[in-house]
Amino acid sequence: MTDTTLALLPEQIDALLTDETNSITNLANASALLMQSLKDINWVGFYLFNHKTNTLDLGPFQGKVACMHIKNGTGVCGTAFQQQSVTRVANVHDFPGHIACDSASNSELVIPLIKAGQGYGVLDIDSPEFDRFTADDEALLITFVHKLMAHLAI
Ligand code: SME
């Protein structure tokens, strides 16, 4: 996809999910849309916060089999979620406690999901390229996530 087409991703997800109220259905197609649109990625999907266990549990995704539970505060995903901060890692091997689900992954972008002021989960995107994600990618995917959150139930 060209950069111009990529810029349409937030509008695309909004249109695609119109009138669908099942959150799992919406997360599944959001992960598929990202997998078919972003170049040089090997895994994209969602971890959803389970407040009973204080873990992020594997949700809809595209890619290889992945770890199913991540403790809040651990790995790239758990750290991004606990700190509620977008986390862009140029080299995952330098990230303390990085959890290697797919050994092909070398860089990663994690965006926390917030719904009604509460931590809902994270969007996690992995790439086999080092330093795959730019500040522009980050900004675009934050906008994508904002559009997506409007289609998820609490
Ligand atoms: N690398 C992540 C774990 C999830 S997999 O990449 C799909 C982490 O360190 O949290």
- What number of other Cβ atoms are within 10 A of residue 2's Cβ? 6
Query: What's the CA-to-centroid distance between 75 and ligand 1, angstroms?
Result: 6
Query: What's the CA-to-centroid distance between 19 and ligand 1, angstroms?
Result: 31
Give the pLDDT confidence of 3-18 residue by residue, as tens digits.
Answer: 778 999 999 999 999 9
| Sign of the Cα pseudo-torsion (91, 93, 96, 100, in order) | positive
Give residue ranges with CB within 6 A of ligand 1: 43, 66-67, 70, 75-78, 98-99, 101, 105, 108, 124, 126
Query: What's the CA-to-centroid distance between 96 and ligand 1, angstroms?
Result: 12
Nearest CA to ligand 1 atom 1: 99
What is the spatial distance between Cα 51 and Cα 34, in angstroms, rounded to a whole number?
27
Geometric angle at alpha carbon 75, from 36 and 79, rounded to 5°:
95
Give the pLDDT confidence of 108-120 residue by residue, as tens digits.
Answer: 999 999 999 999 9
Q: What is the pLDDT of residue 154?
A: 76
Mean pLDDT, range 75-100, rounded to an integer: 97
**By the 8 A CB rule, do 31 and 61 touch?**
yes
Q: Is the pTM of this model over 0.95?
A: yes
Tell me which amino acid residue 28 is.
A
